[in-house]
């Protein structure tokens, strides 16, 4: 072997790797740069070769410093900086990962040349290098993951604002517009002395403003949807009924025949279905009473939402986008549950989620997608 051991601590393999990196720096950095530029890594190939080589120099320095100090901090620090810099330049995480892994290819060439007669040492050095590389990869991947989480949160917040804007336009704004029209009509009728028609329009005005108020309460509640992991399903349902239905003049009751019937792992999608059913009560039913019941029947957990409202024809109205029936169906199927909807014009509505407790599919039980 044609190299002296470096004056560093650590294992014998680490000392050998440190010496190899010190003695073969230029050929290794050149080889690493060349391999990157030969790969289909568009963001790297668009940069001047001397800049790519400078980037590799920095990564190389992190390896050398880590081996010299016996600490992983230089690698982790470099990985974080690498993630931040590459993100600002628009690199994809796969490109950065592939560019880092090109370093292993460059090292293989040198190791084979230096240790062709000592395969065990060669394998040990490559394994150690891979372990150190993993420190950088984990650090830069964490930066990318944090950014993606922030981006997803921003997307979710934007979608939520867009949903609220749609709901304000589709429901609350229309109710307030109707109230304004009735108010103008009442004024004109009173001026003309037609008190009977004015009285009728006043009743319609009260109904329009009452509907707008109910829907505003619903939107406000949706903007602060409870944390089910912290509160639990039952507490979340109680909060919803108290904050929206009860304050909207609807008699709301929560019947807990079997309060622990719904497993915690699927509480989120079940709550989303219940919430959508309750939203329909507020928006469409004209109900004066709603009952939410949790129970077990024939070995199957059930959560039902029943109201005494106007009802509808299930067969012809099931696809109505405004009622979210398709969304409720999809959520139920995602957790291996059945959704049963019973209604008739003038006969109220019952929405029931039926969960076979022996074969629940928890996958797909993600956060509410408020559409």
pLDDT of res. 361: 45
| Predicted structure pTM score | 0.47
For 138-176, the DSSP string reads: HHHHHHHHHHHHHHHHHHHHHHHHHHHHHHIIIIIHHHH
Task: State mean pLDDT over 224-238.
Answer: 78
Q: What pLDDT score was predicted for residue 1?
A: 32
What is the C-alpha end-to-end distance of the chain, expressed in Å? 67
Please list, in sequence order, all residues whose beta carbon lies within 8 angstroms of the beta carbon of residue 193, skipping any fewer than 6 positions away: none
Q: Mean pLDDT over residues 246-259, rounded?
A: 88
Mean pLDDT of 65-88: 89
pLDDT above 80 (res 146): no
Which range, of 194-203, 261-270, 282-291, averages the lowest pLDDT? 194-203
Dist CA 277 CA 28 (whole Å): 64
User: For 301-310, how does the pLDDT look when each residue is reduced to its tens digit (9 = 90+)?
Assistant: 999 999 999 9
Q: Higher pLDDT residue, 120 or 177?
A: 120
Res 354: pLDDT:
93
Identify the three-state secondary structure at position 291: strand
Which pLDDT score, from 0 to 100, does residue 124 have?
A: 86
Beta bridge partners of 289: 251
Torsion angle of the four alpha carbons 198, 204, 210, 215, in this order, in degrees rounded to the nearest 10: -140
Q: Would you say residue 95 has pLDDT above 60?
A: yes
Number of Cβ within a 10 Å radius of residue 31 = 20
293 or 96, which is more confident: 293
Domains assigned to the chain: 12-152 (1.10.490.10), 230-371 (3.30.565.10)
CB-facing half-sphere around the CA of 312: CA atoms within 13 A = 17
Name the pairing type of β-strands 349-356 and 251-256. Answer: unpaired
Does residue 285 have a pLDDT over 90?
no
Residue 50: what pLDDT?
93
- C-beta atoms surrounding 80 within 10 Å: 16
- pLDDT value at 365 more than 50: no
Question: What share of the chain in percent tops pLDDT 70?
Answer: 75
pLDDT score for 367 = 52
Averaged pLDDT, 339-352: 92
- Hey, how many other C-beta atoms are within 10 angstroms of the C-beta on 205? 19
């Amino acid at each position: 072997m044609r190299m002296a051991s470096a004056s560093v601590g650590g294992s014998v393999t680490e000392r050998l790797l440190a010496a190899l990196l010190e003695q073969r720096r230029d050929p290794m950095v050149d080889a690493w740069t060349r391999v990157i530029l030969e790969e289909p890594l568009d963001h790297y190939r668009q940069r001047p070769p001397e800049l790519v080589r400078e980037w590799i120099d920095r990564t190389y320095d992190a390896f050398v410093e880590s081996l010299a100090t016996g600490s992983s901090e230089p690698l982790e620090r470099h990985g974080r900086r690498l993630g931040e810099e590459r993100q600002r330049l628009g690199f994809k995480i796969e490109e950065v990962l592939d560019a880092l892994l090109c370093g292993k290819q460059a090292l293989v060439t040198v190791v084979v040349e230096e240790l062709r007669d000592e395969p065990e040492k060669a394998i040990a050095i490559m394994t150690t290098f891979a372990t150190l590389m993993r420190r950088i990869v984990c650090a830069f991947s964490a930066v990318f993951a944090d950014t993606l989480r922030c981006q997803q949160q921003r997307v979710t917040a934007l979608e939520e604002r867009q949903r609220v804007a749609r709901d304000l336009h589709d429901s609350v704004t229309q109710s307030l517009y109707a109230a304004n029209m009735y108010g103008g009509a009442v004024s004109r009728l009173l001026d003309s002395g037609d008190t009977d028609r004015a009285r009728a329009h006043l009743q319609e005005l009260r109904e329009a403003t009452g509907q707008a108020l109910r829907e505003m309460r619903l939107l406000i509640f949706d903007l602060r949807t409870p944390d089910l992991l912290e509160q639990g399903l039952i507490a979340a349902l109680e909060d919803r009924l108290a904050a929206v239905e009860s304050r909207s003049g609807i008699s709301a009751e929560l019947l807990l025949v079997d309060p622990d019937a719904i497993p915690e792992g699927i509480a989120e999608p079940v709550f989303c279905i219940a919430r959508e059913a309750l939203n329909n009560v507020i928006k469409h039913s004209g109900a004066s009473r709603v009952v939410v019941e949790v129970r077990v029947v024939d070995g199957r957990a059930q959560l039902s939402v029943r109201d005494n409202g106007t009802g509808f024809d299930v067969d012809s109205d099931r696809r109505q986008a405004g009622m979210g029936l398709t969304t409720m169906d999809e959520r139920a199927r995602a957790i291996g549950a059945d959704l049963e909807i019973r209604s008739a014009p003038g006969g109220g509505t019952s929405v029931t989620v039926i969960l076979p407790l022996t074969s629940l599919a928890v996958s797909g039980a993600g956060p509410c997608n408020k559409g």
